[in-house]
Amino acid sequence: MDSLHSFLYFLYYFGSPVVLLAGLILSIVIICTKDKLTKLIGIWMTASSTGALLNAIYVLLLRYFGSDVIIRLSMFNNIVSVFFMTVCAVMIVIYANKKYGFKLYLGIILIAGNSVAGVLLRLVFNNILKPSDYVSAIQYNNLLSLIAAVPNLAVSIIWFIVFFKNRHKEKELNLLWLITLHNLVQIMFSMILNLYSFIFAAKDADLAQYSQLTVQLGAFAVSVVITLLFDIYVLVKGRKASEDNKLIIVDE
């Protein structure tokens, strides 16, 4: 187990940042394409990649600091994550509206409301309850993560259904629904890990965090590779869409 943990750490430190950076660069290139709808997907992916990078740093820092720092990092990570999730939500809503005629403003409202509720919960917990030990801090962090994930899960399910049902309307990006499926799986997987850590932290906090972190590192490594493949797919198809639009304009 130690060798696996060490390998995943090595993979995370040296492999994942490179892949994330490559994905971020590709996302920015996607934004530069001339197809307006593809630009929206590029902004969505840029926000998602940036949020994933910051969240990965947060996960690693949890292992090396005490309860006070964990609580502060948790609040900061929550605010940053919500910001990038909101950007993603706005881009998805605009894209779905323009492409499919589907309006899902509820997604933005849920995420924005969830962010306010999360910050208020953390302020109450920090100033009134004040976890005095490492175990309480870990359980608190995982509990709030679970609560925050519920509305995000609901919105992700709706987005997946919308994109899957309308996949026939996509001339180039006909696999775009797989991206929403990937996001949905990520949220569900994260919720399961947080629930596991919350339940077993009282028995052995170090072991619970160790197991959670090991699985998270491995899953994160796989996830960033999948995300990079999606970036390449959108870039190639987006450029083709731009070229097709040029041909249409010339024909007219």
For position 97, which CATH number holds?
A: 1.20.1070
Average pLDDT for consecutive 10-residue bins of the chain (252 residues)? 61 66 82 81 84 71 65 70 77 83 68 62 60 61 71 78 85 79 78 70 55 64 76 79 51 42
Place of tokens 């953390």: 122
pLDDT at 248: 41
**DSSP secondary structure string, 131-179?**
--SHHHHHHHHHHHHHHHHHHHHHHHHHHHHHHHHTGGG-SS-TTTHHH
User: In whole angstroms, what is the distance from residue 76 CA to residue 82 CA?
Assistant: 10
Structure pTM?
0.67
Q: Tell me which DSSP letter residue 104 carries.
A: -
pLDDT at 251: 42
Q: How many domains does the chain divide into?
A: 1
User: In whole angstroms, what is the distance from residue 183 CA to residue 71 CA?
Assistant: 26
The torsion of the CA quartet 97, 98, 101, 103, rounded to 10 degrees, works out to 10
pLDDT at 123: 60
Q: What is the Cα gyration radius of the chain?
A: 20
Place of tokens 């964990």: 70
Domain that holds residue 230: 2-251
pLDDT at 203: 58
- Beta-strand ranges (E) seen in the chain are none
Question: Residue 4, class by beta-carbon neighbours within 10 Å (0-12 exposed, 13-18 middle, 19+ buried)?
Answer: exposed
Distances (CA, A) of 21 to 11, 15, 54: 14, 10, 12
